[in-house]
Amino acid sequence: MAVVAAARPFAFSFDVGSTALIVIDMQRDFIEPGGFGAALGNDVAPLARIVPTVARLIAAGRAAHIPVIHTRECHKPDLSDCPPAKRGRGAPSLRIGDEGPMGRILIAGEPGADIVPELSPLPGERVIDKPGKGAFCQTELGAYLQELGIRSLIFAGVTTEVCVQTTMREANDRGFECLLATDATESYFPEFKTATIDMIRAQGAIVGWTATTADIGVALRG
């Protein structure tokens, strides 16, 4: 068993052979100027700053030969999988499906929905397109993890309090042990990230554990 001794609230033990890394929504629409994140009035710079750290975590996962799974939040071009309750939220200058600087906002196949080039998936790495905040909602993720015999999940990506947390809670409900890389996740709102991390590891890791990318890398290297 591998152990992340410095994980909080206590050491995280896992079998590398039944562990996968899930990288949530590191997409141009959320991370680059002109995308959906910026259209909502957010400063995207904090999200862009974690890209090198996420890249290091992905490299550690690949070196350990664990599955690396990437997710993208995006919708069908006809928006049939985007309910009005989602499209109408907030007061963005551009809404989901509108034409933006990187194509239609959060639409599958458009440049803005792509993962940032620095984190491009390698051939053979699964990319999950999800219409919801959680990566298990209306996707093949659960079946894919079951097929691989996965029991533990390491998480990175954006945003901490929305898609990352939602997916971790979905995973926890499905019986997976979950570990969040604290420096490989980010929010447009620093206080939201802090609160989410506290919630995840509260009450004896009620949702999961947290640790730094460096400490996770050490455990993966054995």
> Which residues are catalytically annotated?
25, 130, 163
Q: Which of 170, 216, 158, 222 is nearest to 11 (CA)?
A: 216
Q: Which two tokens stand for residue 208?
A: 């999961």
Residue 33 to residues 36, 37, 135: CA-CA distances in angstroms? 9, 8, 24
How would you label 74-102 residue by residue, b for 16+ Cβ within 10 Å and e otherwise?
bbeeebeebeeebbeeeebebbbbeebeb
CA distance 159 to 100: 21
CA distance 139 to 137: 6
Q: Which two tokens stand for residue 146?
A: 């079951």
Q: Which two tokens stand for residue 201?
A: 């590891």
Q: Give strand ranges (E) for 97-212.
A: 99-100, 103-104, 127-130, 152-158, 177-186, 209-211
